[in-house]
């Protein structure tokens, strides 16, 4: 596991598991717990976003330079519940200079699309420790 994920306390606290970590692509999964539900007993949208954002972060950090989010949008398509496993699959669409565009699809354990996320990255001059 890369140092950035070893130090990622938020993703660890949410129980995220890295299933694939390649330059420009990543797959991250998470089991929805009771404490991840909102007032309607469905998965809190912020936690779906957090899962997608973690896959995006892995996919866009492709070399020794720190790459961060410049922005992101998400569209929620299906609600999920406690006990379900969500999987975020991130893919690079394009990198031009220091900026990049990445798409992340979040699916449930039945393979249904839960959300679509588009992240925009910017690569800094800072080196990964």
Residue ranges of the chain with pLDDT lower than 50?
A: none
Q: Residue 19's closest CA among 67, 95, 85?
A: 85
For 112, residues 6+ apart whose C-beta sits below 8 A from its C-beta are: 78
Looking at residue 103, what is its pLDDT?
A: 98
Short-list 46, 61, 66, CA closest to 117 = 46
Domain boundaries, the chain: 12-127
* Helical segments of the chain, H only: 3-6, 9-13, 45-60
- For domain 12-127, give the CATH number: 3.10.129.10
């Amino acid at each position: 596991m890369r140092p950035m994920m070893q130090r990622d306390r938020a993703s660890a606290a949410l129980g995220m598991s890295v299933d694939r970590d390649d330059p420009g692509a990543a797959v991250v999964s998470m089991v929805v717990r009771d404490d991840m539900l909102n007032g309607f007993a469905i998965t809190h949208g912020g936690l779906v976003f957090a899962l997608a954002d973690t896959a995006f972060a892995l996919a866009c950090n492709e070399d020794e330079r720190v790459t961060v989010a410049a922005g992101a949008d998400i569209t929620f398509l299906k609600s999920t519940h406690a006990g379900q496993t969500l999987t975020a699959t991130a893919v690079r669409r394009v990198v031009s200079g220091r900026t990049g565009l990445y798409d992340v699809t979040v699916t449930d354990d039945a393979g249904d699309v839960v959300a679509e996320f588009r992240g925009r990255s910017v690569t800094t001059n800072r080196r990964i420790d």
